[in-house]
Each structure stands twice: as C-alpha cells, then as structure tokens.
C-alpha cells in the first residue's frame, strides 16, 4: 500500500477503505472484487487533516484529489480586495481538489481548508487514469461522478445568473440540507454569492412560508 499518514492506524484504514468501496459500488453496475480492492488500496493514501489546516494553498500544485471519508472542507479564493469567495463545499462522500491544477499541472488559484477534522483518501491524476483503465467499476464511478459534477456546475452557473437570492437559497437547502448544520452562515452566504444580511433575510422569509 502507498505510504500512509503516520497518525492513521491500520484499523482506521480498514474503516476508511470500507466506506470508499461502498461509494464505488453504489456507482458501479458490478461490485469490486477482493483483488480489485487491493489495487484501489495501493493507489490511495489515507490521511488525517486537522480543522483549519490546509489541503491546498494558492500557488501550490494540486498533486492529489481527496475523497472525504469523514469531515467537512471548503474551497475558496481571495480576490485582490481581500474578499473571500467560497467556490466549493464538501462533506462525507464528496471529492475536493482543484481540477484545473490537478489536470494541467499548473499553480492553483484556490485554498482548500478543513472546516472540521477530516479523514481523507488521496489519489494522484496518474493513478486515477490507471485505475480507470484497469477497473471497470472504478471507471464507471469516475464517469458518473464527472457527469454529476458537470451538471451541478451548469446548474450553479445558471442559478447565479438568473435566480433571486431567495430562490438560490431554497435550491441550496433542497439539494444540500446537511450543509446547513455543517457550515456557518457566512460560508453559506459566500457560496451562494450573497452577503450575510441578505442570507439572514431570505432565511426568515423561507421560514414564514
């Protein structure tokens, strides 16, 4: 198996990979075999990340994509006025990374930070492509995951362009109800592209309906 974080014991590794195997099998038509389990374990690096520690900083190369087994993370950029803009949030069974940097081997424009203590499984671009060729179940998971990501990105762009703040909030809580208990109001407001006062107002309006 690839080198693991020194703070992760063998029992925790087993639990982490069991969660990930379930995730793959939920996407795949045929479940992974035991031999395929070993190939996946060899490609991923288990890692713990403490709350408020960085998985990626602006200017760094994103060498790994992270599957979140446990915890919550935020991806953001800081503009030239010092304003933080949340571009992605993730909790259990979500992926985090800067895809452009990961694919193009270019410096990242983003920070990715653990909002809670996290348990992660990390994989390189090269190992992702290799597993996709070797394992039909993994390849199917990657394809379906990419499709869902593209659809979600398209919907988010359309939402930012055409929907009111209230409708954006209602769509958000409809799609991601768990995020409301995992992230504070100012982070959700930034993700939705509105300020905290506006979010407070639309939350009160939504509660009255």
Give me the mean pLDDT over the 95-118 stretch: 97
Query: What pLDDT is attached to residue 10?
Result: 84
Q: Does residue 172 form part of some domain?
A: no
Is residue 121 a contact partner of residue 69, using CB atoms and an 8 Å limit?
A: yes
Residue 148 lies in a domain: no
pLDDT of residue 7: 54
In tens, the pLDDT along 38-49 reads 999 999 999 999
Structural domain containing residue 65:
10-136
Per the domain annotation, does 44 fall within a domain?
yes
Strand order through the sheet with 95-96: 45-49, 118-123, 65-70, 95-96
Residue 133 and residue 139 in contact, taking contact as beta carbons nearer than 8 Å: yes
pLDDT at 9 over 90: no
pTM: predicted TM-score of the whole model, two decimal places: 0.90
**Residue 64 maps to which CATH number?**
2.60.120.10
Q: What percent of the chain has pLDDT over 70?
A: 95
* Residue-wise pLDDT tens digits, 62-95: 999 999 999 999 999 999 999 999 999 999 999 9
* Structure-block tokens of residue 204: 């009160």
Tell me, yes or no, whether 202 lies in a domain.
no
Q: In the prediction, which pLDDT does 208 show?
A: 67
For residues 67 and 119, give the distance between their C-alpha atoms in angstroms, rounded to a whole number. 9
Domain count across the chain: 1
């Amino acid at each position: 198996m690839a080198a693991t974080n020194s703070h992760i014991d063998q029992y925790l590794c087993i639990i982490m990979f069991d969660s990930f195997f379930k995730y793959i099998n939920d996407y795949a038509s045929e479940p992974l075999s035991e031999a395929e389990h070993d190939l996946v374990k060899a490609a991923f690096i288990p890692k713990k990340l403490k709350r408020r520690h960085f998985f990626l900083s602006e200017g760094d190369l994103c060498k790994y994509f992270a599957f979140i087994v446990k915890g919550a993370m935020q991806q953001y950029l800081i503009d030239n006025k010092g304003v933080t803009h949340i571009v992605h949030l993730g909790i259990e069974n979500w992926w985090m990374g800067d895809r452009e940097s990961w694919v193009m081997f270019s410096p990242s424009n983003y920070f990715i930070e653990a909002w809670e203590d996290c348990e992660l499984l990390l994989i390189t671009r090269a190992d992702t492509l290799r597993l996709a060729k070797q394992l039909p179940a993994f390849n199917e998971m990657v394809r379906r995951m990419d499709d869902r990501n593209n659809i979600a990105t398209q919907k988010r762009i359309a939402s930012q362009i055409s929907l009111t703040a209230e409708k954006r909030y209602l769509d958000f809580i409809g799609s991601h109800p768990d995020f409301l208990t995992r992230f504070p109001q100012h982070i959700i407001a930034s993700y939705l592209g509105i300020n905290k006062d506006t979010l407070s107002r639309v939350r009160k309006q939504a509660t009255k309906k």
